[in-house]
A and B are shown apart, each in its own frame.
Chain A
Amino acid sequence: MVNDMTKEELKMLANKLMFEMDDKEYETLLSEFDITLKQMELIGKIKDIDKVSPMTYPFDLELSDSCLREDISNNEISFDDMKINVKDYEDNKVKLPKVVE
């Protein structure tokens, strides 16, 4: 993989993650991508890496269906509890401006 990324692409990536970055940060980020992609290129060259199954869990917990949660309901919080962190609400609902303009 060649790093031919541009600042504009990175900006788009950032915006898809719902934030803006300082302009100068993109330079740092470009160099970080450069490093990461180079390092990953080496990893891609490890023999037979494509035959390895990707690891998600540190080890197999060997769980079976008996560990599934029994279907018992319990409402542990109320909207009154939530209000402490909610900035704006109306009729017990979280209030927001329009979703789109």
Chain B
Amino acid sequence: MSKYIPVIGLEVHCELKSNSKNFSSASNGEGEVNTNLSVVDIGYPGILPVVNKEAVRKSLMVALALNCEIPEKLSFDRKNYYYPDLPKGYQITQFGNPIGINGYVMIDVDGVEKKISIHDTHLEEDTANMEHLSNYSLIDYNRAGRPLLETVTEPCINSSKEAILYLEALRNIFLYLDVSDARADMGQIRVDVNVSLKRPEDKELGTRVEMKNINSFTTVKEAIEAEIKRQTEILESDGVIEQETRRYDEVNKCTKFLRGKVDAIDYKYYREPNLPEIKLTDNFVDSIKKNMPILEYERKKRYINEYGISNIDAGTLTKDKKLSDYFEDIIINDVNPKETANVIVGFLLGYLNKNNMHIENVEILPKDFGEIIKMMTDGKISNKQVKDIFTKSLNEKKNPLVIAKEMGSQISDKEEIRKIVIEVFKDNPKVVEDYKNGKNVTGFIMGLLMKKTSGKINPGVTNMVLREELEKL
């Protein structure tokens, strides 16, 4: 155990889904380079911003899900700096009066609940996308002006593990609320991390070092660990941590100096005069509250309390929103939730894992999935058969109901087959005689069995039973 406690704060930028951009009507969607454009987002002289209701609605949903206090009035500020990806020369953001403050998220650290305090969540606009080539740069303005929600924690995270648990919980909030696709690999989630170290007896926090724009959770973890290591080494050798911005070098697995405190930019925040204060009426906020989708922890609670699913299985199901959605779509047709959970956790996830698949790749319709479970709960098929049906269905991309039907009309029961085999022995004494004389009669008897059952007999099981019976002769 190190003698230093890491203190970590995270700032997570999340691109919100909407039809149009935050302050203009340009499309907030995918598109060819420089096609989602409005004069507002290019920052031409004379343009004015107009706030997107949907972006506000989604931000409020997140603020509520984060247990934040909501301001009476909405207002925006300008953050001023010069960079070619910021066409107006300022970013419209919320500095003084964010859309949510003083919230929290609960995370489960090895079975112990921990509260991660949220300083604020605020609505702002994204910058243009820049491509840096060997000796020049190119700008695509499609991203400029997209609604971006930045959620800032208090410095209350004490390990890379907690950081990742928090990030996963936050991402799930975005996904459960359906406010963003929250794909870090697509740049829809970007994380700024700040790290400082302190000794247990220290009252004050140590000097913090910031790392900006990390776009994968794995990298966040590595960056935190690398930075903890670097700072520990400095402190161990009686050095001083400088307040600075660093970047994580993924190749060399270490953080590198970017700029120091003296080069820190004064953003000269001030109230955006083109956007008046906008009262958030009770009506508006209440309608959002009323229509809030159920969040991860609420689903989990329901799975445990109402369906009797185990804590672990409920956690596994809800951790992945798409998986949980699939589960919900199955049980909506009166399918036993607990049995369904058992099949999903006990079989399906293992299959997916082994085959490097995700729930999205599963082509079995939830309704069909449910039918099979029902057959099981009705005692028509065994648990083993359920697994066989799904395995075959997934392997061959074949409808499980068709497979079940085929299997159902097949004679697969060992004892039933044994009876038929014995009958065939009785009816064909010559063949039995031939076998006893050392002749290979297996193929011939199989033919007789097929003929007798019009081909409905399960060849695998029959083969096995036949061998057993022959040995008994």
A residues whose Cβ falls under 8 Å from a Cβ of B: 17-18, 54, 56-57, 60-79, 82, 90-99
Contacts and interface: CB of A to CB of B under 8 A. Distances in A.
B421 interface: no
A58 to B, nearest CB: 10
Contacts of B132: 98-99
Contacts of B32: 92
B137 A76 contact: no
A69 B139 contact: no
B338 interface: no
B51 interface: yes
A82 B33 CA distance: 13
A71 B278 contact: no
Report, as a range, how many residues of chain B touch the other chain.
Answer: 35 or more
Given A63-B276, A65-B284, A77 B37 contact: yes
A63 to B, nearest CB: 5
Closest 7 CB pairs of A and B: A71-B54, A68-B53, A93-B138, A79-B34, A73-B27, A73-B20, A94-B139
B355 to A, nearest CB: 39
Interface in B196-253: none
Contact of A76 (B26, B136, B276, B284): B26
Nearest to B284: A65
A70 B25 CA distance: 9
Given A93-B139, A97-B137, 5 more contacts: A62-B279, A90-B138, A91-B33, A92-B34, A99-B132
Given A56-B273, A61-B276, A99-B130, A76 B138 contact: no
A93 B74 CA distance: 35
B180 interface: no
Contacts of A61: 276-277
Q: Which of A18, A60, A71, A94 has the most CB of B within 10 A?
A: A71
B376 interface: no
Contact of A96 (B51, B74, B82, B84): B84
A63 B279 contact: yes
B36 interface: yes
Interface in B3-33: 18-21, 25-29, 32-33
Contacts of B385: none
Nearest to A61: B276
A78 B37 contact: yes
A65 B281 contact: yes
B357 interface: no
Contacts of B131: 93
A98 B53 contact: no
Contact of B35 (A18, A79, A97): A79
A75 B37 contact: yes
A61 B273 CA distance: 12
B42 interface: yes
Nearest to B44: A85
B29 A96 contact: no
A71 B52 contact: yes
B280 interface: yes
Contacts of A82: 34, 37, 42
A90 B140 CA distance: 11
Given A77-B39, A79-B35, A93-B140, A18 B53 contact: no
B56 interface: yes
A75 B26 contact: yes
